[in-house]
Amino acid sequence: MLMFRSILFIQYAIILAISFVSGVVCFQVFPLDKSMKLISYIDPRVLDITDISVWETVLPLIGWMVLVLFFATHPYLHVLAKLVVGVKITFFGFSSVFLLTQQESLLIYSVWWFPFQLVYCFLLFLLCSVYSAKRVGPNKKYVFSQKLFVTLLITLSIICVGEILSISYILPRL
């Protein structure tokens, strides 16, 4: 069991690294105006961090969670859940380069964007595991782990509150 978890961790780390670098490369390929347009569709907070509402923080997170859960709980499409997280990480890399290329954004990036988005990506990977196959004799039985799901919801909620506090109280003082 421990070996399986370590292999899964390595798999997630490789997906994270490749997807993040892919986002960096995509940013280099896109013209700046197209990059800004894409960012405005997915997470407009990256473009303007001065006036962010609570809903602008909560809704993108809920959208990614619903998308991951939709695929993770489907017996035939569960592999696509990891692909959705990979797309999220690609956007994370894409918008990270955007923030780092903007003047005076290093503090914003290091206090707000990078830590919270990295934790969200890891938690979304864990969300991919809430519905898994168990061997029962010669057959597979799919089991929804309610304990893991509730734990992830609580953890995601705590991280989201931390992000909102960071945006509301720490970023304005930088």
76-88 pLDDT, tens digit per residue, is 888 899 999 999 9
Residue 76 lies in a domain: yes
Over residues 85-103, the mean pLDDT reads: 92
- Domain ranges, residue 111: 12-173
Over residues 25-43, the mean pLDDT reads: 93
8-12, 34-38, 128-132, 170-174: which has the highest mean pLDDT?
A: 34-38
Identify the weakest region by mean pLDDT among 16-25, 95-104, 143-152: 95-104
Residue 2 lies in a domain: no
Is residue 1 scored above 60 in pLDDT? no
Element at 132 (helix H, strand E):
strand 131-136
Residue 3 lies in a domain: no
Residue 64 lies in a domain: yes
Quick one: 35 exposed, middle or buried, by C-beta within 10 A (0-12, 13-18, 19+)?
buried
Residue 77 lies in a domain: yes
Residue 91 corresponds to which tokens in the numbers above? 């956007």
Over residues 50-75, the mean pLDDT reads: 90
Residue 1 lies in a domain: no
Residue 5 lies in a domain: no
The DSSP call for residue 145 is -
Quick one: 130 exposed, middle or buried, by C-beta within 10 A (0-12, 13-18, 19+)?
buried
CA-based end-to-end distance of the chain: 45
Over residues 54-58, the mean pLDDT reads: 90
Q: What one-letter code names the amino acid at 48?
A: D
Tally of domains in the chain: 1
Over residues 47-53, the mean pLDDT reads: 83
pLDDT at site 12: 87
Residue 85 lies in a domain: yes
Q: Which residue has the tokens 């490749």?
A: 18
Instruction: Compute the mean pLDDT over every residue in the chain, rounded to the nearest whole number.
Output: 88
Residue 160 corresponds to which tokens in the numbers above? 């989201």
